[in-house]
A and B are shown apart, each in its own frame.
Chain A
Amino acid sequence: MRFDSADRGVRALDSVSFAATENEFLSVVGPSGCGKSTLLRILAGILEPTSGAVEFAARGSAERLRTALVFQEHGLLPWCTVLENVALGLELRGVPRADRERAAHAFVAAVGLERFTGAYPHELSVGMRQRVALARAFVSDAEILLLDEPFGALDAQTRAVLQQELMRIWRDHRHTVVHVTHDIEEAILLGDRVLVMSGRPGRILEILAVPLPRPREPRAMDRPEIRDLKWHVWQLLEREVRGSLGLAGSP
């Protein structure tokens, strides 16, 4: 597919084509401004591609699969309580109040925030807010979860803990996940496969399988084959980042 931004006259995505399989965790990594977020917004149905299409093989191309999008931050509605925010996805799909609140309660407990059910987002830390956002995505009956740099606004330690949290929730509640990040380590730690994108306009450079069993430990990042993979992804990206900065090739 392709996406041209109308108001800025910029081609954000060019000839991007890939397939995610059911219950796969697919990580997308690329330099900033490469159209990663645009890609997720197209998958979420917020934007229409200029050309090309999203096909949902499970359903035939006519009908969309239900998606849930998790934003980097500010994805919670400030005027809704934690419980209302978690239940929002179900509410918007017409699930009756009693049912959606029961489901939301269970998931608020699953992310350890039961004491904050009635709190408003401004009363929570950034990390807690992202847990609420993840809970909303998992509790909604979405078939594909779209994560747009969900930990990008967090400090390194909180991020590491929430990565583990995400792995744990995903283990218990399998979904197909498309996860966008600019953090190579995070892409490899979380993903079954890593899709590497070029700078603007975004194209796919390579799709790499991550040879790591689950459950994964952060320590697994020190294995030689994973270090090689990290290095390989970085070499792919470095050229793109240098290009976008107007710098020459490899040093």
Chain B
Amino acid sequence: MGETGTTRTLIIRESVLDKNRAIAGANRARFDRWGCLALNVLSSPGAGKTALLERTLTDIASRLPLAVIVGDLATDNDGRRLGNRGAPIIQITTGDICHLDAAMISRACDSLDAEPPEVCFIENVGNMVCPAAFDLGEHARVALLSVTEGEDKPSKYPTLFSTADLVLITKTDIADAVGFDRQLALGSIRSASPNCRVIEVSSRTGAGLDEWYAWIAETRAARPRGSTG
């Protein structure tokens, strides 16, 4: 410490995001204890996160215990849509906070402790900016890009796509109707995220969903076993 007159200098060097990081680490450890794969699902509003998860629950909730934690600023509409499909749904309403953070996930996980899932989907708030900066304790990030929102979105929102392990191109059933340029989109994704996997899906027709389920299974299998697993 230096002294200048009556003031002294304190050297701190602490990251402001340390607190979230610490809680995220604890969340990840809890998912590991459960033997649960945690997936953070991110996208712009309206890219099809809820529709994808509705279809996913319907198709595979009978095969293994799933759960969904869904975040929105207001309403429990998404929570209700996902309900009655064989998996517990925890709805978080954030008020005016435009992203989920690790503390919110920690509280949601308390509700799942009694019967932990083997895959937990975290449907983040629809937003391509802020959620990308907050580690929730997930094992992998899934970013959705719909055919309707512009092929260059990945270049415009590089942090979201560069931190994604998997990019799902959604609503492929209407790609022709909107003049979607597939090569342009793939190029944009590659430039933001050279090593991520890309799967093209339509939640409405079911196209590509088997590949999505296979990716979930592969990603689960690649996880180290939990202490009880």
Real complex partners, A and B?
Answer: no
